[in-house]
A and B are shown apart, each in its own frame.
Chain A
Amino acid sequence: MSPGAGRRSDVALHGALMLASAVVLFPFLWITLAAFKTQIALMSGVVRFTPVLSNFREVLFSRTSEYLHNFANSTIVGVGSTAGVLIIGTLGAWSLRRMRWPFWVSGGLLAWAIVFQMIPPITMVGAWYVMFRTVGLYNTYPGLMLAHLTLNLPLVLWMMSVFVGQVPEELEEAARIDGASTPVLLWRVVVPVVRPGLVACGLLVFILSWNEFAVALNLTAKQTATVPVAIAKYAQEFEIQYTQMAASAVLSTIPALLLLLIGQRYIIKGLTAGAIK
């Protein structure tokens, strides 16, 4: 191949990549612009408009708005379920790696992961709803946390088992010789080594919990509604305020977006580990 051909294919590659980027980014750009428009500017479809902040003000601070409350709900549920799933998942992963579990245990846990692959979580919601109602977990933070924890545990279990498997056995043996008990060994040796994996898992799981809609819709009511549930409610209101809906959608995307940008290196690394090893 001549050097000229190489450069030309480079140009073609970049062209294709940029086109794809434009396709991905355009809806984001469009909804962000809509959030800064007045309803009239949006409907008349003008290209030039004076940006206004009234939509954001209305969404965040109007008397009838509960958006900040929903934001807090999402944060509480996200942090709680993520912390829980990391603790339970890491302990379980370590146990799966270090013990020779009978096949029905490891196989059963694998089946769980596969079941969640094949059937949408929404099929569990009916039973969860009845269960949670009965024991008083419906419309509570712990209830939704447990539901999200259950949805994400298989992922964490397998991802963390990869990271735990990478801990050098010599390190653990050295700690044993120094007389460390198993809990101490876990906390002082294993956890520090798998910290990048914990960060990756944590970010990923938090984002999944933040965006989760179907289960949250069924297990929450007004007091505990998360952000996606609240936005969906907007869309069903009698008089749809498109621009406010856009503003609330933009605001809801920001936390996950920030986490992706800050932690993308970790997230990709985590997915790589979960996928390959």
Chain B
Amino acid sequence: MFWSEETRFAWLSLMPALLIFAVFVVFPVVYSFYLSFPEWNRMSPQAEWVGLANYAALVRDDTFLRSPLQTSLFTAGSTGCIVVFSLLTALLPDQKLKQFRLYRTIYYLPAVTSVVAIGIVWLWIFDPDYGLINEALKALGLIGPRWLADTSLTLPSLIITAAWRNIGYGATDSRCHPDGPAVPRCGGTAGRNPDRLGIGGARRDRRCAAQRGIGQGCGAGG
């Protein structure tokens, strides 16, 4: 096979990325699956093969059984808040505000703050005795709830925190358009220069939709 110098170099260029993908993503996924069968506590040298016993234990575990519902509620609540706020901030550029950049930077601040620091602050804000919210309620003559210590309010408290952290989602999504409308541009590039990319418009649209998802995901990592 006679490959051009460029083709060979293009092969080589993708190799590091593929290698990392194989070693640190594909292998660990398979390995994790394998690790779900023995019983091992990180300390002892010997792992004992127990088959499906780990799964059986999981199914009998109350906390685990409750977790799908909790996660769903948390996700629905926080996503709802984020979507509403994102829609509002995504419309910001249309308002032709001079202070657009300033607002955008402010809303994006929580997204570049470490989750640990955010956790500390909100732990205090929700503190039943000294916390900001209950102090404010006290000033109004009300007695605040126990927030994180109250099982019925833990989830809403977490949702508030998550919504606060991701308020900037919309601010970066208005990246969708400091200089133009959001969605139609997706296909636009392909339409303008289809030969160049060598890929059909529909396929590109699908791909750029996925890319948009990726761009947003980076904020949610924490």
Please tell me which one of the listed residues B21, B115, B212 contacts residue A211 in the complex, with CB atoms under 8 A apart.
Answer: B115
Task: Tell me which of A27, A87, A105 contacts B164 (CB under 8 A).
Answer: A27
Binds A, one of B25-33, B49-57, B146-154: B25-33
Take A17-B103, A121-B221, A158-B211 as given contacts and tell me if A24 and B164 are in contact as well, using a CB distance cutoff of 8 Å.
yes
B132 lies within 8 A of A30 (CB) = yes
Are B167 and A24 in contact (CB-based, < 8 A)? yes
Residues of B within 8 Å of A268, CB to CB, are 104, 172, 175, 178
A25-B106, A150-B24, A183-B9 given; A20·B167 CB < 8 A = yes
Given contacts A117-B217, A182-B5, A271-B172, contact A92 B17 (CB under 8 A): yes
B105 touches A276 (CB 8 A): no
A158-B214, A211-B222, A260-B105 known; A115+B114 contact, CB < 8 A? no
Q: B99 contacts which chain A residues (CB < 8 A)?
A: 17
Closest to A121 in B: B221
Q: Which of A111-131 contact B (CB under 8 A)?
A: 112-117, 121, 123-124, 126-128, 130-131
Known: A21-B103, A98-B6. A43 touches B109 (CB 8 A): no
Taking CB as reference atom, which chain B residue is nearest A185? B6
- Name the residue of chain B whose CB is nearest to the CB of A232: B116
The answer to whether the Cβ of B87 comes within 8 Å of any Cβ in the partner chain is no
Q: Is A153 an interface residue (CB 8 A)?
A: yes
Question: In the complex, what's the smallest C-beta–C-beta distance from B24 to chain A, in angstroms?
Answer: 4
- For the complex formed, measure the closest distance between the CB of B5 and the CB atoms of chain A, giving whole angstroms: 6
Residues from chain B with Cβ under 8 Å of A231 in the complex: 114, 116-117, 120
Chain A hits for B112, CB < 8 A: 207, 211, 256-257, 259-260
Q: How far is the CA of A165 from the CA of B21 in the complex (A)?
A: 22
Cα A208 to Cα B221 in complex, Å, equals 8
For chain A, the bracket of interface size reads 35 or more
A277 to B196, CA, bound (A): 14
| Residues of chain A whose beta carbon lies under 8 Å from any beta carbon of chain B | 13, 16-17, 20-21, 23-25, 27-28, 30-31, 34, 42-43, 45, 87-89, 91-92, 94-96, 98-101, 105, 108-110, 112-117, 121, 123-124, 126-128, 130-131, 146-147, 149-151, 153-155, 157-159, 162, 165, 169, 181-183, 204, 207-208, 210-213, 227-228, 231-232, 235, 242, 245-246, 249, 252-253, 256-257, 259-261, 264, 268-269, 271-272, 274-277
Q: Which 8 A-B pairs have the closest CB atoms?
A: A127-B28, A92-B17, A272-B175, A211-B114, A91-B13, A249-B117, A95-B13, A95-B14
Would you list 24 pairs from A and B whose C-beta atoms are within 8 A, ordered by A residue? Answer: A13-B95, A16-B88, A23-B164, A27-B121, A31-B120, A31-B124, A43-B130, A98-B6, A108-B21, A109-B17, A117-B217, A121-B221, A146-B24, A149-B20, A204-B218, A211-B113, A211-B114, A212-B221, A228-B115, A242-B124, A253-B113, A271-B215, A274-B211, A276-B185
Given A92-B16, A235-B119, A249-B121, 6 other A-B contacts at CB below 8 A?
Answer: A13-B95, A99-B7, A131-B27, A155-B214, A228-B114, A257-B112
- Which residues of chain B have a CB within 8 Å of any CB of chain A? 5-7, 9-11, 13-14, 16-18, 20-21, 24-25, 27-29, 31-32, 35, 85, 88, 92, 95, 97, 99, 101, 103-110, 112-125, 130, 132, 135, 164, 167, 172-173, 175-176, 178, 182, 185-186, 189, 196-198, 207-208, 210-218, 221-222
